[in-house]
Amino acid sequence: MKTKLIAVIFIITSSYFAVAQAEYAVDKGAVILSGNIGFSSSGGDLYGSKRSNIFTLTPSVSAFVSKNVFLGSALAFSYQSQGTENATSVQVGPHFGYAGGTATSTSFPFFIVGIRYLAERFNYNDYFSIRSSSRYGYSGIIGVGAVLTVSNHLGMTFEGDFNFVHLTRKNVSANGNIISLNIGLCGLLYKGPKK
């Protein structure tokens, strides 16, 4: 967990140094930042005798290593608990892609390919004790979409992804697939044109 946190801080810090060179949103050194941190705790008689807590962390950063070509990573962490029962899920991994567009563009179509390490752990009560169950695996992601600039440093992302998921629990493996469509806001970090 500590390593992942250091990796996220390193990516964010290094992105600040990189953006100083970039003249537009998909120029070398530009950075696209998105994600969310959320914590929610529900209590009172409506939600049961014990409070229900949910924590989620979903940062994603993509840095342009040359014009139009980006490399990045994403983390999706969630923790849910109620009483002594809890569930933890982690997805982390790198991605790369190509985003079209130039200094005058207001929309940047892109494609993205990535791989994620997945881990899930559940602690639950049976009648006599607390039991644990874990499963591990990976997912491969292929996505297409576009970033539309709302203003200078703010974009709206439209992205469709196909995920192939492989998970193993106690030497038993199963495959699944996830199709997702997402629209959200992202930060477009770059210095701007040279004067």
Q: Whole-number minimum distance, CB 182 to other proteins, in Å?
A: 5
Question: Half-sphere exposure (CA, 13 Å, Cβ side) for 170?
Answer: 2
Q: Whole-number minimum distance, CB 174 to other proteins, in Å?
A: 4
Nearer of residues 18 and 188 to other proteins, judged by Cβ: 188
* Site residues (CB under 8 A) for other proteins, limited to 13-72: 33-47
* Site residues (CB under 8 A) for other proteins, limited to 101-130: none
Q: How far is CA 186 from CA 66, 87, 94, 123, in A?
A: 20, 29, 18, 35
* CA nearest neighbour of 58 among 102, 90, 105: 90
Residues facing 164 on adjacent strands: 140, 177
Single out the residue of 124, 174, 193, 194 in contact with other proteins (rule: CB under 8 A). Answer: 174
Task: Please give the structure tokens belonging to residue 179.
Answer: 């199709």
Q: Is 140 in the site for other proteins (CB under 8 A)?
A: no
Nearer of residues 125 and 152 to other proteins, judged by Cβ: 152
Q: Is 154 in the site for other proteins (CB under 8 A)?
A: yes
120/73 Cα distance (integer angstroms): 19
Q: Which residues bind other proteins (CB under 8 A)?
A: 33-47, 150-154, 165, 167, 174-189
